[in-house]
Chains A and B, each alone.
Chain A
Amino acid sequence: MGSNNLAGTSVNSTREMTRARAIKRFKWITISPIVVIFLVVLMPALILQLYFSFFGWTVYLGSWWDAEFVGFEIFEEVLTDERLGWAVIRSLYFSFGSTVGCFLVGFGLALLMYRPFKGNAFYYIMFIIPMLTVPIVVAYTGEMLLYQNGPINGILSSLLGHDIKVSWLADADIALTTVMIMEIWNWTPFSFIIMIAGLASLPKEPQEAAQILGAGKFRVFFEIQLPLLRPVILLALILRFLEAMAEYPKIWSLFQGGPGSVTETIPVLIYLTTWNYFEISKGAAQSYVVMILMILIVLGAIWVLRREKTNLDQMYK
């Protein structure tokens, strides 16, 4: 430590110190607008949410600041509420299903397209369009295609020779799957562009080396490409999953949770509780539970992504 103290007292490090100070000031200048907006916009909302979770209030009960402290009562009610449990399960089902669907299709297309071929650009442009389509537009397009007199039933009818009238949107058994298919249609391009970028960025030499050493196409894929792609694959899966957990425009605009409650995912349930039943406190407590759940999931995701990125940084040093 002796020499370090020497360094501290040395006149020569003042420039470094002023520079370090300047960087620190710059850091605060750049972060402060974000911090300010966070503190002014989000922070009070988070506090209000906490308040409502502990003070029972619905819009029928007078001013919200007069609400009565009820301790963990609302949390207990929410946590023992089967409806929230089902909403979580439905959200997970919806997210897993659409994530896997998007990934499989997107990765498959990327594998067929990452090497240049005739028509490459045309297919690429066509395939990214669904992602550029506003989600609410996707919802209505889906409705127009799938409603009972819609073209999907029309095509099925002409293929099978008799009238088919599947109620894609009203049948409780398939409604959630229907919207999942729309989600897959909407977001396959997302997995597709990430995987195609990942495949294109893989170094060629190791693959060629493996080929020379006698590996066939499948071996090269499973032993070279796939392991090298792991970070990109995880990224594509994680981001898509998280975005699907928040999916709202399609499910809400087409189903509002129905038929029955088969499409009542987390966002829909919170919306209904808060804006349809006006049970603000219950909605807040549900939100809190979901927020903590999601934060845990996101922290896990961040941990995975950081580990992969550190790996990559070492590999491409």
Chain B
Amino acid sequence: MAHIEFKNLRKEYGSTVAVKELNLEIDDGEFLVLVGPSGCGKTTTLRMIAGFEDPTIGEILMDGRVINELEPRDRNIGMVFQSHALFPHKTIYDNIEFGLRMKKIPAEERRIIVKEVAEMVHITPLLNKRPGQLSGGESQRVALARTLVTKPSTFLLDEPLSSLDAKLRRELRAEVDRLHTRLRTTFVYVTHDQEEAMTLADRIVVMNNGEIEQQGTPMDIYSNPKSYFVADFFGSPSMNLINGEIVEENNKLAFKNNQLKVQIPDHFSDKVSGKVTLGIRPEHVKIKTDGGEIQDVIDLVEPMGKDTLLYFKAGAERPFIVIIEGLVTNDFKSGQSVGLDFPDDKVFLFNEHGQRL
């Protein structure tokens, strides 16, 4: 159980700044996900908690105590590595037992704990094998078990699932979630996969260029992105983002680019002008077979099973996508012209600097 706090944390490597003045509190028992593109400073932050990197400036506190000076092994944390980092020359049993031996726990007790934990992550049949004989999913479970036995106050997980295929990833994601529910200790999880972040986190911290871009619950991040970056990063398929500018027409403001023109909702009217980006999530666009604010031609119909994706040009650099529930390939054909409606409360506008208006 641990409460972690960063105070003005900064990390420089020579002249490059990996993490800029980070201030963050992680509550006891919270599942916090650090998410962002590669090079955003999320892994560096995690490794500073572990003690493998020393902050250039700033303090890391654990339960109110500064731990900057503690060696990794004295911080009572567990870490699961991206590469799993199992000891290839030891059996799975010895791998899991390692942490207990380091803590000088008597042999008898060690055996019981290893058995128990192996049971917990379903790897009992593997105990006599060596890491080289395991599949990716199995070795990830072992890595989890090895960390679990030492009963750390905090779990650090560095992209633990990124080396696995999609199906296994989903399976182990659920496993991690279950573990957290069961243990109720602090989890700090680093990933570049927004889906993992959305499904696992109590709270998401979005990082970009060494800074916190936004933090909040998954729902909050998804439905209320504070910036172009966050809006673009979350959601699959991602939010439709169209560049254009604000023009005044008949005393009303409208968004316009060379292909389309839309009225913008009234609540924006006093804040916006000039060049902006309009954003709307694919599932929020309403399709009308007749009428509708914008007329556009369907470029491509992509049936996904449960949903169908419709692609439009809509004046965007990348395809404008609309999701419709159900398989609707009979109702919509490419080349067909349909109407698109943007509900007022679902439209976002971002200024030139990417800030939400």
Contacts and interface: CB of A to CB of B under 8 A. Distances in A.
Q: Do chains A and B touch in the complex (CB under 8 A)?
A: yes
Interface of A: 3, 6-7, 10-16, 19
A16 to B, nearest CB: 4
Contact of A10 (B12, B57, B70): B57
Nearest to A9: B57
A14 B59 CA distance: 12
Contacts of A11: 68
A10 B66 CA distance: 13
A3 B54 contact: no
Contacts of A6: 57
3 nearest A-B pairs in the assembled complex, by CB-CB distance:
A16-B54, A12-B68, A15-B69
B58 interface: yes
Contacts of A10: 57-58
8 contacts: A3-B10, A6-B57, A7-B12, A12-B54, A12-B55, A12-B59, A12-B66, A13-B56
Contact of A14 (B56, B57, B58, B69): B69
A301 B216 CA distance: 58
A122 to B, nearest CB: 29
A182 B59 CA distance: 68
Contacts of B59: 12
Contacts of A15: 54, 68-70
Contact of A7 (B56, B66, B69, B70): B56
Interface in B52-88: 54-59, 66, 68-70
Contacts of A7: 10, 12, 56-57
A143 B250 CA distance: 107
Contact of B58 (A12, A16, A19): A12
Per DSSP, chain A at the interface is helix
B10 to A, nearest CB: 8
Nearest to B54: A16
Given A3-B57, A13-B56, A19-B54, 9 more contacts: A3-B10, A7-B10, A7-B56, A10-B58, A11-B68, A12-B54, A12-B55, A12-B58, A15-B54
Interface in B228-244: none
Nearest to A15: B69
Contacts of A14: 69
B319 to A, nearest CB: 30
A317 to B, nearest CB: 14
A16 B69 CA distance: 8
A12 B68 CA distance: 6
A14 to B, nearest CB: 6
Of the candidates B10, B57, B59, the one having the most CB atoms from chain A within 10 angstroms of its own CB is: B57
A19 B54 CA distance: 10
Contacts of B57: 3, 6-7, 10, 12-13
Contacts of A16: 54
A68 to B, nearest CB: 56
A15 B58 CA distance: 13
Interface in B30-62: 54-59
Contacts of B10: 3, 7
A123 to B, nearest CB: 30
B68 to A, nearest CB: 5
A12 B58 CA distance: 7
Of the candidates A10, A12, A14, the one having the most CB atoms from chain B within 10 angstroms of its own CB is: A12
Interface in B207-262: none
Nearest to A12: B68
A18 to B, nearest CB: 8
Nearest to B56: A7
A14 B56 CA distance: 10
A6 B10 CA distance: 11
A7 B56 CA distance: 6
A102 B66 CA distance: 63
A19 B58 CA distance: 18
A10 to B, nearest CB: 5
A15 B69 CA distance: 5
Nearest to B59: A12
A11 B12 CA distance: 16
Nearest to B71: A15
A26 B69 CA distance: 20
Nearest to A18: B69
A15 B66 CA distance: 12
Contacts of A12: 54-55, 57-59, 66, 68
Contacts of B12: 7
A13 B11 CA distance: 11
Contacts of B58: 10, 12
Contacts of B66: 12
A15 B56 CA distance: 11
Contacts of B69: 14-15
B139 to A, nearest CB: 25
A211 B197 CA distance: 43
A3 B68 CA distance: 19
Nearest to B55: A12
A13 B58 CA distance: 9
